[in-house]
Amino acid sequence: MPASPTTLPTAPAAALPLEGKVAVITGGASGVGLGIAREFTAAGAHAVITDLRQDALDAAVAAIGPNCSGIVADVTRLADMEAAYRQVTERHGRLDVVVANAGIGAHAPLGAITEEQFERTFDVNAKGVLFTVQPALELLPPGGAVIVIGSTASIRPPRGMSLYGGSKAAVRAFVRAWIQDVKGSGIRMNILSPGAVDTDSLRSALAMAQGAEQVEAAVRSMGEGNPTGRIADPRELGRAAVFLAGDAASFVTGIELFADGGMAQV
Ligand SMILES: NC(=O)c1ccc[n+]([C@@H]2O[C@H](COP(=O)([O-])OP(=O)(O)OC[C@H]3O[C@@H](n4cnc5c(N)ncnc54)[C@H](O)[C@@H]3O)[C@@H](O)[C@H]2O)c1
């Protein structure tokens, strides 16, 4: 039989998909990032979460357990991210996975968009992603993985969410170009795009828009509008991220994986 032209890793499969790997997850103190950190540690990784506030990081680390640690770092400040990666290298001696998750979104209809809203949204969601990924490149080994958290808003921005949708479309384009820039490095890069996820930030946005007493009904109604009949648990994004981070996705790069219960696919 002719030899296969493809060389797949022949090492025995690790018991856990991310066994021994070290991952940095930005904005990991709450919501989707926290769900990803939980699933990464369950999959055998050490999760280093970064966020803006020490108290929020401490609470998240206490909730996840010993395979999680926290570093205060603002993704909009390159110096913060460089310092965070220095700490990761000193403490762990390696970095295998980077999840650029920190993101913000505010209702801003055309006609009422301020310069401040534009700058803040693109600072965190676009510039922040760039300066999360770029300083990590020299640390990531062949087989390393970058996951950028996008949104269904990249292809279907809701009314009043042009800034948010535009910033998510921007990072989608970043990744298409970046996989060419890193050709030959063995580093994979993908977008993971949630639809609605049941997070504190989603619930407080709904409370602000519709009143606290309407939140449960609004969450139910968002779920009913979804082919799956519900919105996501943050850990479901975590499980999709485990796939993209691990060797099971060894030939998957440059995609936008929608973990949206089908919401933006119909
Ligand atoms: N929740 C949803 O329904 C949903 C849907 C689609 C996409 N997303 C995306 O998922 C990601 C996480 O969103 P979430 O819903 O978990 O929000 P969240 O507000 O619960 O969590 C975001 C975290 O990022 C942190 N953060 C904000 N600015 C930061 C900065 N400059 N530097 C470092 N950390 C910062 C916050 O403190 C917070 O802990 C975002 O990229 C968001 O666009 C969320």
Query: What CATH code is carried by the domain that includes residue 113?
Result: 3.40.50.720
pLDDT at residue number 12 = 61
Domain count, the chain: 2
Residue 13 belongs to a domain: no
Instruction: Answer whether 70 contacts ligand 1 (Cβ < 6 A).
Output: no
Residue 234 has pLDDT above 90, yes or no: yes
Instruction: Answer whether 29 contacts ligand 1 (Cβ < 6 A).
Output: yes
Closest atom of ligand 1 relative to the 149 alpha carbon:
41
To test the pocket of ligand 1, the residue of 34, 54, 104, 161 to mutate (highest count of ligand atoms within 8 Å of its CB) is 104
Asked if residue 22 lies in contact with residue 90, where contact means CB atoms within 8 angstroms, the answer is no
Closest atom of ligand 1 relative to the 237 alpha carbon:
10
The C-alpha angle with vertex 28 and arms to 245 and 206, in degrees rounded to 5, equals 115
pLDDT at residue number 240 = 98
pLDDT at residue number 242 = 98
Q: Are residues 143 and 153 in the same domain?
A: yes
Q: Are residues 69 and 167 in the same domain?
A: yes
Q: How far is the CA of 32 from the centre of ligand 1 (A)?
A: 7
Instruction: Answer whether 155 contacts ligand 1 (Cβ < 6 A).
Output: no
Q: How far is the CA of 31 from the centre of ligand 1 (A)?
A: 7
pLDDT at residue number 236 = 98
Q: Are residues 172 and 227 in the same domain?
A: no
**What sign does the CA torsion over 237, 243, 244, 246 have?**
positive
Alpha-carbon Rg for the chain, nearest whole angstrom, is 18
Structural domain of 97: 22-196+233-259
Q: Are residues 217 and 127 in the same domain?
A: no
Residue 73 belongs to a domain: yes
**Sheet with 256-259, side-by-side order of all strands:** 68-72, 46-51, 22-26, 97-100, 145-149, 188-194, 256-259
Instruction: Label residue 3 by pLDDT band (50, 70, 90).
Output: very low
Q: What percent of the chain has pLDDT over 90?
A: 91
CB atoms within 10 A of CB 3: 6
Residue 89 belongs to a domain: yes
**What sign does the CA torsion over 258, 260, 263, 266 have?**
positive
When pLDDT is averaged across residues 152-179 and rounded to a whole number, the result is 97
Residue 126 has pLDDT above 60, yes or no: yes
Residue 7 belongs to a domain: no
When pLDDT is averaged across residues 26-39 and rounded to a whole number, the result is 98
Least confident of 10-14, 79-83, 241-245: 10-14
Q: How far is the CA of 253 from the centre of ligand 1 (A)?
A: 23
Instruction: Label residue 209 by pLDDT band (50, 70, 90).
Output: confident
Asked if residue 52 lies in contact with residue 72, where contact means CB atoms within 8 angstroms, the answer is yes
> Distance of CA 143 to CAs 15, 48, 133, 138, 249, Å?
18, 19, 15, 13, 10
The C-alpha angle with vertex 73 and arms to 23 and 121, in degrees rounded to 5, equals 100
Q: Are residues 91 and 135 in the same domain?
A: yes
When pLDDT is averaged across residues 219-225 and rounded to a whole number, the result is 95
pLDDT tens digits, one per residue of 170-180: 999 999 999 99
